[in-house]
Structure 1
Amino acid sequence: MFLTTQQTILLPQIIKVLAEPQPDCALRLRLGNLLTRLLHADQFVSYVWNPAGKRFDDRVAIDMSDANLRNYEAYFQYNDPITHRLRARSKPTLVTEIVPQAELVRTEFFNDFLARDFLYWGMNVHVPIDGESTGDIRIWRSQQKGNFDATDLALLAIIAPAFGAALRRCKDTPTGAPGDAQGADEALALGLTRKEHEISRMVAMGLTDKQIASRLDISFSTVRTHLKHVFYKLSVNNRAQLIRRLR
């Protein structure tokens, strides 16, 4: 397996991130930012399969439309011709191993969901967390970049066991941080994820998006994506309204 200089630098960084104690969403966002660079990908999405609700929850995404992903969660995940077949594989798999690309591009799923964010070539891995619950990595490229290859699959295969172990630690290890239970209750009451609530509180403290990104070790665009979710959920249009809403 031949790796570029950038890949030989990024792979140990990814393994290090997966070994560090951190909340689930922060873990997946940091991983996504590194993986898109490692695999020369354009988009990253990650969900956790909820077996009780029979749906994918706890979305984390990079460079995808929030509105498009809400459509996925409301409709397309229940009319998805590829993801459950990929999930059944339990190993890194190209989408084209599940369905020929020429067949995929004729589906509603492709034309009304994937194509809207220019997702063309895909690769998934789904790892066990607890019982039937799984966490996933969904990596996509535009048509112009070409499909993923055997090296990309091998890299994801190296990362997958550490990713699964990290998700299980997130689930099994209580944070124990002062005020953490109160913060979780506040987030639940507002309908926010813990990460969205954490970012909202930093906004209320007067931090800029760049400062928040630096503190949480995530990208500026990821902070903006979370804030878009917060604005939508709390029906506010700007930071001043958000601060008033939190108070």
Structure 2
Amino acid sequence: MRRILKRSSLCAVLSGLLLTACGGAPEDEMGAFEEPTGTRESAMCSLMSVSQVGVSGISSYGGVLAGAGTWTTSTSANGALLVFYVDGVERSRQELSGTYDSAVGVYRGTWSFSASGTTCGSHTFHVKAYPMNVDSAGQKETCTGNTPQTLTQTVAQACPTATLSCSRVSSSLSCTGSASGGASPYTPMWKRTIRYSNGTTSTGTWSSGTLTKSYGCTQPGGKREFNRIEIYFKVVDSTGIESNVDFHDDICGV
């Protein structure tokens, strides 16, 4: 009688001849030939870089910080991701495609930036540029894991400065305001507070006017009574930026 080999024994015999007849090689052997996830991306990014990021000009006017500049990549990257910061806070980012410069074999491009709400004084503008590649199908490879090319600039927002001087003239207080810096012409703004001898206070609201203003400053009824008057002055320049507030106080009835 013929003996019939079991499937397991047959597979053992043929294992060196035909692996597929026994259900294929073990999963760990197949996995050794597969490319780990991210290897292809990492290999591409290792060939890409941003070689230069520059600024053509940047400034702040009327509370709007704006500027423009250039960037250049290595031959393996045809675009760039630019991330913009003001005083360490990210304000915007741009993904940009470049133009090929055949003379030197690189891609070049330009960037632009604009952000409102810039306060008075000095600010730090910072750019980080990462390499990017866009293939013919529009697929992007952005290498944010690469060390970026960076640019840092100090930008000043010029603001107006207000000053105030007042003097007593009989029973009134005559005040003159002045302004400098920022963008003229200026709109003078005034506010008055009176602190009465009986402990009550009357505070007005800001109102526009000229650079000179007079306020009544009379003595209350009693000889030992007095009122204190406080005058506040500021200006708003032509771009809408306010100056500091200057202050003068006086005693009426002394």
Q: TM-score range by the shorter chain?
A: under 0.3
TM-score between both structures, scaled by the size of structure 2: 0.21
Name the one with the larger strand percent: 2
Structure showing greater radius of gyration is 2
Q: TM-score, normalised by structure 1?
A: 0.21
- Say which structure is richer in helix: 1
Higher relative contact order (CA 8 A, sep 6+): 1
